[in-house]
Structure 1
Amino acid sequence: MENNKESYKQIFKSTTIVGGSQIINIAIGIIRNKVIAILLGPAGVGVSGIFQTIIDLVRNGTGLGINFSGVKNVAENNTDPHRVAKTILILRRWEFGTGLVGMIVIIVLCKFFSNYSFGSDAYTFSIAIMSVTLLITAVSAGQLAILQGLRRIGEMAKANLLGSVLGTVISLPLFWWLGISGVVPSMILTALGALTISWLYARRVITEPVQLSLSQTFTEGLGMAKLGFFIVVNGFVATASLYLIRILIRSHLGLDSVGYFQAVWTISTMYINILLNSMLADYFPRLSVIKDDKIASNKLINEQLEMTLLVGTPMLLLMIAFSSLAISILYSSSFHVAISVLKWQMMASFFTFISWTMGVLYLSKNKGWYAIIAETIRQAVYISFIFAGWRYFGFNVLGIGFLAGNLACLFFVIYSTKRLNAFSFSFINVKSIFFLGGSVLATLSSSLYLNGIFQYFTNGFLILLTFIFCLYRLDKILDIRTWFKTRYKSFRRIQ
């Protein structure tokens, strides 16, 4: 039991370190999004969202997932100074090369992206200039991957945080000065700021000198690219789907509606990424090391899943209950038409917690095809639901379809992890999934179908009950009360 507690504590420690910096990033993002919403309006948010989707689409297609597979390789070779030095050099060179390829692709296709995304070639030059962010962010991602692979989680968190601060300081004056025309300069300067900060931290990593020719770099980096290929296809499927959905919204309802969708998508993914990225920082390297031990890896997956549900679910309930307030704070009241979509997406995020935690197993075991199939199922169901349900559900189909896609993906992940690793949920996780999932569903139903005092009372009761359950379980696995008693006694002695 003591070993179990130490494992939970390690999960919680890495989560709080990265999560703390992510929360500050969110606070910074709130300010940035608020300013963008006020200065640029829904159409400006829509333009910014489409630009970012183009960048993500090409990055996923050309980046080969090197930063993700690099984390795994650095973590596995961490005990051998020569091999880790070699891996880091290969990672840096491949990141630069893939970033350069991505930049060239956007330049070549800039007119196509402008015509297809906006219905004219008016944004051709802007998209071409924006391409440089691909090269910059690729190099920056490689440097953060080195820190993560070496499990220097605190430094990685600081680099992310300071990069976000610097990017905000740079971008806000540009939006005030240039309006929508400031979107591209802001993206470029923000990427440069993040690159500078990540370089300052990555340069502290001292490795022994190694000599590698370009041909050796290419040959020995193919292992990273092989695993990265699955990440590329997986990310490409997701990003292409998102790009198609935004184009569908623009063609049906115009750029303002793209802005509404961009707003709720940013809020939902922003919150989810806080938690999942915080946990991934330490979880993926740990799982990669024990991937061949089914009992140990399944135990770690269950521990990680329990922590994810206990930490994440209360926040889902708060986001569903206060979605109107969240949109008003993050954007403006003009975005309220998308409130119901946000609620459905937060419900879907509960199932993302489960499938994501289990799905990391695919990449740790170099079985990336499973991840591709899972993501393809998610996006195929999502898009099919939008096409089939638009006339019945209207704009809300964007949230309902997302829920349907996440459920379909989860069923596949449960089946495939059982077949691949003989995985099964622990008894406590089965109870947690039913109880916490029921709480999320009940809060969603209350928020959609009740009004006034009845809604506030029901949501308040559900949130309180869920917080009590989660705190009770966290105390069981982390000894929270003992920690507070120790700190209280220390404080009394000082007094």
Structure 2
Amino acid sequence: MGGAAILSMFFGLLKTKYAALLFGAYGVGMIGGFAAVMGVASAIATLGIPASSVRKLAKAHLIDDYTEVGRIAVTLKRACVVSGLISMLILMLMSNNLSQVTFQTDKYGIDICIIALAIFFMNLGLGNIALLQGLRKVADVARVTVFTAFIGTLVTIILYHSIGERAIAPALACVALLQLGFSELLVRKLSLEKVYVSWVHSSVEAASLSRLGFSIMFSALSASGVSYITVLLISREYGLASVGINNAAFALSGMFVGFILNAMSTDYYPRLSEQVGNNRAMNSQVNEQTEIGILLSLPGLLGTLIFAPQLVDIFYSEQFQPAVELIQLFILGCFSRIIAWPIGFVMLALDRAKLFLVTEVLFFSLQIVIIYYFLHFFNLSGVALAYAIIFLLLIFWNFLVARRLTGFSWEVGPLKLMLLSLSVILLVLFIIKLDAYSSDILLFLILLGTSSFCLFEISKRLGSEHALSKFLRRIFCQRL
């Protein structure tokens, strides 16, 4: 999944690069506005049912209960269709009002209606992906991700070139339709047991899924709500061009973290759910995932810090150079997120829906408050600073919660790795701020040394017979 996420990220950056050159910071800010609306609407439309069904599917699949798998699959499909249709209609009715709130004009009402259609397609597609995830069809999920990203990028670029800024909403709808179409093809290839399920039973099962799903929905809604409110606050204070600059900084700082978290939610969550009832095994999984997350992300985070000015030019344009300062603060938040994320899944795996809901709502509400005040004191940098602070606090909160639920504690290895990684990040930031003549050479050596260390540590965890370990032995002629 990691490779698929990298390719998806790469194609996404290509789309953004074309938009940056064609529309400038204002156009990228407009894309951010539509994406924020879509994020909020999608979070509500799913009711969290696709995500919560992954857990039940994984459990049924583990004990080879194919009848239960078939029942859940039917219920999942029906729930996604119904909730998708209702959400689409509501969004269409509110289109002019949402356009006025988001863009201070109602001329984008038609575009919001197109976004509503995209929400329906996306809802069905997410249901298919949840089914594939629950049955551990990780390779199929990767295929959906890569295909959608590749074809979606081509279609988006063609639409941008042909129609201009008014192609933003149609492009988003086309991408959602592509995801639905390809995921549907792969789902139909599954050998699912044919099970009759009445609509009454589906309603009861959907209600059961929605109990945890409601919390997951609120989690997604909180995250997308923060994005949407951030867009509103920045656009009213500094304009849509500043939204584009902020989004550019956030995207570049999180591009390596994004694929790691995506892979984590795809494979790690079902594995963790399978260990429910065995606290020692669950805690071991969290520690292991924390180490792997840090080792995979650290070279990318340092590379982003060091080459931020060049990356902004490559993936955006000279107009986006103010994003460089924001990237430095976002990187600190991304590192904290890598640590907080694996522990947070403990609540989901244990079906502690209310606790998970309280955590998400509390911290995202706090983030909005911090952003609101920090925007006045620190300008755009306030958004990035708020991001770093909130995920640092979330680490401590998730640790305390997991410790109470499973007796969790970090092992010596992950703790040492956290402290070492944070020290390296702070050292790089300090050297960048010095802007000395020899800084470039020193930064390159730090990046090279850190990347080598992470590569060898990952190879140790993979085992001596893994292809990466064999490759390193051939290069360095030594036993790992």
Say whether the fold is shared (TM-score over 0.5): yes
**In structure 2, what is the equivalent of residue 7 of structure 1?**
none
The DSSP-based 3-state class of the residue aligned with 1:38 is helix
Residues 1:366 and 2:362 are matched in the alignment = no
1:269-284 matches, cutoff 5 A: 269-284=254-269
**In structure 2, what is the equivalent of residue 473 of structure 1?**
457
Residue by residue, what CA displacement relative to the aligned partner does 1:46-73 show, whole Å, maximum 9, x if unpaired? 1111111111112212311111112111
Residue by residue, what CA displacement relative to the aligned partner does 1:344-400 show, whole Å, maximum 9, x if unpaired? 111111110111011011111111333333333432343333333334322211111
Q: Contact between 2:460 and 2:469, CA under 8 Å: does it hold in 1? A: no
| Residue identity opposite 1:49 in structure 2 | G
Q: Contact between 1:85 and 1:210, CA under 8 Å: does it hold in 2? A: yes
| Residue identity opposite 2:341 in structure 1 | W
Name the CA distance, whole Å, in 2 between partners of 1:268 and 1:215: 47
Bigger mean CA offset, 136-145 vs 20-29: 20-29
**In structure 2, what is the equivalent of residue 223 of structure 1?**
208
The DSSP-based 3-state class of the residue aligned with 1:453 is coil
User: Which residue of 223, 226, 229 corresponds with 1:244?
Assistant: 229
Q: Contact between 1:474 and 1:480, CA under 8 Å: does it hold in 2? A: no
Structure 1 residue runs of 5 or longer lacking an equivalent are 1-17
Name the CA distance, whole Å, in 2 between partners of 1:208 and 1:380: 44
**In structure 2, what is the equivalent of residue 141 of structure 1?**
126
Residues 1:195 and 2:195 are matched in the alignment = no
Q: Contact between 1:159 and 1:198, CA under 8 Å: does it hold in 2? A: yes
Name the CA distance, whole Å, in 1 between partners of 2:65 and 2:324: 52
**Which TM-score applies when normalising by structure 2?**
0.94
Name the CA distance, whole Å, in 2 between partners of 1:31 and 1:127: 24
**Which TM-score applies when normalising by structure 1?**
0.91
**In structure 2, what is the equivalent of residue 38 of structure 1?**
21
Bigger mean CA offset, 351-360 vs 25-34: 25-34
| Residue identity opposite 1:260 in structure 2 | I
- Shift of the alpha carbon at 1:480? 5.1
Q: Contact between 2:252 and 2:304, CA under 8 Å: does it hold in 1? A: no
Query: What RMSD in Å do the two structures reach over aligned CA positions?
Result: 2.0
User: Which residue of 424, 437, 440 corresponds with 1:456?
Assistant: 440
- Shift of the alpha carbon at 1:112? 1.7
**In structure 1, what is the equivalent of residue 6 of structure 2?**
23
- Shift of the alpha carbon at 1:312? 1.2
The DSSP-based 3-state class of the residue aligned with 1:221 is helix
Name the CA distance, whole Å, in 2 between partners of 1:249 and 1:412: 29
Residue by residue, what CA displacement relative to the aligned partner does 1:236-271 show, whole Å, maximum 9, x if unpaired? 112112211111111111111111112222333443
Bigger mean CA offset, 196-205 vs 458-467: 458-467
Bigger mean CA offset, 455-464 vs 320-329: 455-464
- Shift of the alpha carbon at 1:479? 3.2
User: Which residue of 242, 250, 259 corresponds with 2:244?
Assistant: 259
1:290-305 matches, cutoff 5 A: 290-305=275-290
Name the CA distance, whole Å, in 2 between partners of 1:255 and 1:270: 22
| Residue identity opposite 1:476 in structure 2 | K
Q: Contact between 1:377 and 1:408, CA under 8 Å: does it hold in 2? A: no
The DSSP-based 3-state class of the residue aligned with 2:379 is helix
**In structure 1, what is the equivalent of residue 401 of structure 2?**
416
Name the CA distance, whole Å, in 1 between partners of 2:256 and 2:451: 18
1:96-245 matches, cutoff 5 A: 96-245=81-230
Name the CA distance, whole Å, in 2 between partners of 1:353 and 1:47: 29
**In structure 2, what is the equivalent of residue 12 of structure 1?**
none
Identity of aligned residues (%): 26
| Residue identity opposite 2:171 in structure 1 | S
The DSSP-based 3-state class of the residue aligned with 1:425 is coil
Bigger mean CA offset, 132-141 vs 187-196: 187-196
Residue by residue, what CA displacement relative to the aligned partner does 1:120-151 show, whole Å, maximum 9, x if unpaired? 21111211222100110111111111111111
User: Which residue of 316, 321, 324 corresponds with 1:336?
Assistant: 321
Q: Contact between 1:30 and 1:329, CA under 8 Å: does it hold in 2? A: no
Name the CA distance, whole Å, in 1 between partners of 2:137 and 2:437: 48
Distance 1:39 1:289, change over 3 A: same
Distance 1:339 1:215, change over 3 A: same
| Residue identity opposite 2:310 in structure 1 | L
Name the CA distance, whole Å, in 2 between partners of 1:144 and 1:309: 26
Distance 1:471 1:170, change over 3 A: closer
Residues 1:91 and 2:76 are matched in the alignment = yes
Q: Contact between 2:16 and 2:315, CA under 8 Å: does it hold in 1? A: yes
Distance 1:136 1:422, change over 3 A: same
**In structure 2, what is the equivalent of residue 383 of structure 1?**
368
Name the CA distance, whole Å, in 2 between partners of 1:22 and 1:482: 21
The DSSP-based 3-state class of the residue aligned with 1:68 is helix
1:400-411 matches, cutoff 5 A: 400-411=385-396
**In structure 1, what is the equivalent of residue 478 of structure 2?**
none
| Residue identity opposite 1:201 in structure 2 | L
- Shift of the alpha carbon at 1:483? 4.3
Name the CA distance, whole Å, in 2 between partners of 1:486 and 1:434: 29
**In structure 2, what is the equivalent of residue 77 of structure 1?**
60
Structure 2 residue runs of 5 or longer lacking an equivalent are 476-480
Residues 1:68 and 2:17 are matched in the alignment = no
- Shift of the alpha carbon at 1:294? 0.6
Name the CA distance, whole Å, in 1 between partners of 2:75 and 2:236: 44
Distance 1:40 1:140, change over 3 A: same
1:282-361 matches, cutoff 5 A: 282-361=267-346
**In structure 1, what is the equivalent of residue 30 of structure 2?**
47
- Shift of the alpha carbon at 1:486? 5.1
Residue by residue, what CA displacement relative to the aligned partner does 1:90-145 show, whole Å, maximum 9, x if unpaired? 11111111211221221121122111111121111211222100110111111111
Name the CA distance, whole Å, in 2 between partners of 1:485 and 1:417: 33
Bigger mean CA offset, 188-197 vs 247-256: 188-197
Figure out how many residues of one structure are paired with residues of the other and give that number. 473
